[in-house]
Amino acid sequence: MVALLTRFIATRPRYETPQERSLHWLAQVHAESEATRLRLTPGERDKFEVKMARAIRRVACGPDRIGNRGQSIGDLEALDFDRDALYDVRHHPRGKGTEARTRRYVAIVDEYFARSYADEAPPDDLLHVTCTGYASPNGAQKLVGKRGWPTRVTAAYHMGCYAALPALRVAAGFLATGSGRVDIAHTELCSLHLDPSDHRLEQLVVQSLFSDGMIRYCMVPDQGTRGLAVLSTHERVLPDTAEAMTWLAGDAGMQMTLSREVPERIAQALRGFMTDMLASAGRGVHDLKRALLAVHPGGPKIIDRVRDILELDETQVAASRRVLFDYGNMSAATLPHIWMRILDDASVAPGTLIPTLAFGPGLTVTGALLEKR
């Protein structure tokens, strides 16, 4: 039985902010935090903002790489550092703590599930994927309980940006054991996890890159309908890379670390990984010449390295590049947005192979071979 991905429905965050404005706010919130923490004079605070703005310009993804990012809270829009919902840094230099951020996450995600499934028939299984907020019962469980559905709810949490691919494996297992429809729902609210008192360059990279994204889609048996067929999946944890990328629950939300060596370590493993994944579905490297890749855009350099190592042309990674530009890095919700874009693109013919790659803590390299139907 071949599993098919279909019925993609994306829900944009309440606030959409041009990257130019987002980077300006980032310099401001860091300066306000430092002013509160060290009791800086207005002049000292302004000098620190100039310093932060220069650092951000040097290391961040600029507006030429990311055009907009979505946020589910209005702090960036309000610019009120006394009364912002989370980043009231004149009172809390790190922003409010993890409990306040978690409560905000719960409210947003509960509302998302209620609105997203307002007119839906129940799936047999509902798989909730996230790494940016946890509470029990979760939003999916609350939905099923309120509606009185017989749906089974499963949580796939804290795997990072690659989590959509393990979710495919789990969903395929449900289909193989009798489920007729598995819904996969991603709720990533990365904007809840900024620490404005942490001025390290690697944190400025992270804070300039990530954004919020919510999307759901169905996995059903392939019965000739429109969708993306799942031909195979593949995964490998790279040796001696455990510290290259981390994602931990901290006092001021989740904290991610990202080493500069990540693109190169992934690059070293990529060609062999792709060869093995293609072979698992009876395909060869020659099939890449006609394929469109869905690459999780951990950043622009990741897309560049994948393109160059696999000897692709720019058109083959264009969908990944465009999703990064339009929305930023939405953690594990990003790949489904790329799949949706390829599926909805009338210029992409049925039968087109869609090798998919994503990367996360471990370092973990994951992949899937999809085909447009």
Model pLDDT, residue 303? 93
C-alpha span between 144 and 167 (Å, rounded): 19
Q: Which residues of the chain have pLDDT under 50?
A: none
Model pLDDT, residue 323? 98
| pTM (predicted TM-score) | 0.95
Beta pairing class for 68-71 and 3-11: unpaired
CB 129 within 8 A of CB 153: no
Model pLDDT, residue 260? 74
User: Residue holding tokens 């004079």?
Assistant: 41
Model pLDDT, residue 362? 83
Q: What domains can you pick out in the chain, each with its CATH number?
A: 228-372 (3.40.47.10)
21: part of which helix (H) or strand (E)?
helix 19-38
Kindly state the tokens that stand for 128: 């909730």
